[in-house]
């Protein structure tokens, strides 16, 4: 093998590895920080906004509780991310459904009364289920429904 062909192979391998390293996360990743009740940061510094829900914002009623429950569910844990139609929101955050094993975190946060089920078309794959979780939470007077 000549120096030139070896160099070309090394260059192609480097470019391939760099392109893989720069891809957006999919599959399983680790949560490195919880921002609030519906937003997390994962490995690589990516911000992830949970699809189909809206949790209280800083300063709002039940904000701290929603953030703490989200932390208890996902902080430092390996999560699986599922995309719907849209990749990112207008703030550049990844839009995803979040799971730990078979546990659907978006729905669990709503079920515990920590967020509202809010449709953001076109990302509505599980909206009927999320709305059912909100109804259950509201009837049980949990969290924001006290």
Q: How far apart are CA 141 and CA 137, in angstroms?
A: 6
Q: Catalytic positions, please?
A: 49, 57, 93
The residue among 40, 67, 53, 56 whose CA lies nearest residue 146 is 56
Give me 80's structure tokens. Answer: 């699986």
User: What's the CA gap between 113 and 121, in Å, rounded?
Assistant: 22
């Amino acid at each position: 093998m000549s120096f030139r062909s070896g160099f070309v192979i090394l260059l192609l391998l480097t470019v391939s590895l760099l392109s893989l390293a720069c891809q957006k996360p999919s599959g399983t990743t680790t949560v490195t920080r919880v921002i609030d009740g519906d937003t997390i940061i994962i490995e690589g510094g990516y911000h992830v906004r949970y699809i189909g829900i809206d949790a209280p914002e800083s300063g709002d009623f039940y904000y701290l509780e929603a953030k703490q429950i989200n932390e208890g569910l996902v902080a430092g844990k390996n999560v699986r991310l599922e995309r719907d139609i849209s990749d990112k929101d207008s703030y550049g955050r990844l839009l995803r459904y979040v799971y730990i094993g078979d546990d659907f975190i978006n729905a669990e946060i709503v079920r515990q009364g920590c967020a509202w089920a809010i449709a953001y078309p076109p990302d509505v794959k599980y909206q009927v289920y999320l709305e059912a979780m909100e109804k259950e939470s509201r009837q049980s007077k949990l969290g924001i429904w006290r």
